[in-house]
Structure 1
C-alpha cells in the first residue's frame, strides 16, 4: 500500500498509535497490539488505527468492537470494500488479506478473544449488533 497514511483522529486512538511507535510496537505490556492500515472505502485514502489482536495459526484475529458502539468501526467497513490491508506488528510491516470470520470460526474464537481482552465481553453486551471478528492473513 503506497501513499500518505492518515492516522485515526480519535484522541485516545491517536495516542495509542503514538505510543505504539515510541515503544517499538509494545505500548501495553501483556497485550498484543498492532497497527492496521486500510484504504478508505469512500475517500480512497490510507487510514491507520491501533488494535489488539490474538493469533489463530497464521491469522491475526481482530475484533470490530468499536468499544461496544452501535455501529461497525470504519476500518471494518473499509476492509469489507478492499480486503488488502497492511499490518504492523512490533517493528515488522507486511501486507495481509482480511475477511470476516465464518460462524464456526466466531464460535471458536470468541472465548480466545475474551480471555485475552476481557473488556470485549462487556462490549458484546453493550450493543445489539453482532460484533464481527476479522481474520487477517499475511500475504506470502
Structure 2
C-alpha cells in the first residue's frame, strides 16, 4: 500500500503508534500491560487512510475492539469509519493483514463484552457513563489472493 496513512492526532496515541511501527510491534504491542493493535480505516469524509492504536481481545481467531471513546457521548471516529467502510488493515505485533470489521450482534455482544472487560475493566465504567450503547467490533481476517 503506497497511499499515505495519517496517524491519530492525539499526542500519546501518535507516540504509541510510532513506537509500534519503529519496533515492528515489539515495544508497542503491549501498552501499559494491555495488548494493542494498529487499525487502519478509510476516512468516511476525507477518504484518507487513518491509523489508530486500540486495546484488543481475541475470540476464536477474531479480534475484538470496543468503540468506547472513553465513555464519551459520541462514537470514536475510527468506529464511524468502519461503519462506512468495513474493509480495514490491521497490525498485531509484527503481523499485518487485511480484515473486515463489523459490529457484534446483540446475541454475540454479552459474551464478547466479558472477554473485553476481563482485559480492560474500565469498559464497564465507560458504558455506565456513556449516553449511548458502546459498540463492540469484531474484526476478521480476509483471504488475500
Q: 1:108 aligns with which of 101, 111, 116?
A: 111
- Cα distance in 2 for partners of 1:120, 1:60 equals 16
Name the CA distance, whole Å, in 2 between partners of 1:78 and 1:9. 16
Q: CA deviation at 1:98?
A: 0.5
User: Contact conserved, 1:54 with 1:116, CA < 8 A, in 2?
Assistant: yes
Structure 1 residue runs of 5 or longer lacking an equivalent are none
- Give the alignment's TM-score, normalised by structure 1: 0.94
- Report how far residue 108 of structure 1 moved: 1.2
Distance apart, 1:109 and its partner CA: 1.0
Aligned to 1:65: 68
Matched-pair contact (CA < 8 Å) for 1:83–1:97? yes
Aligned to 1:31: 34
Q: Could you tell me which residue of structure 2 aligns to residue 79 of structure 1? A: 82
Corresponding residue of 2:51 = 48
TM-score (norm: length of structure 2): 0.90
CA RMSD of superposed structures (Å): 1.4
Between the two proteins, the alignment pairs up a number of residues equal to: 140
Between the aligned partners of 2:95 and 2:9, the Cα distance in structure 1 is 23
1:104, 1:20 → 2: CA distance?
Answer: 34
**Structure 2: gaps of 5 or more residues:** none
Assess, with a 3 A threshold, how the Cα gap between structure 1 residues 7 and 130 changes in structure 2: closer, same or farther: same
Give the match for residue 21 of structure 2.
21
For the 8 Å contact 1:101–1:134, the answer to whether it is kept is: yes
- Counterparts of 1:8 and 1:97, CA distance in 2: 20
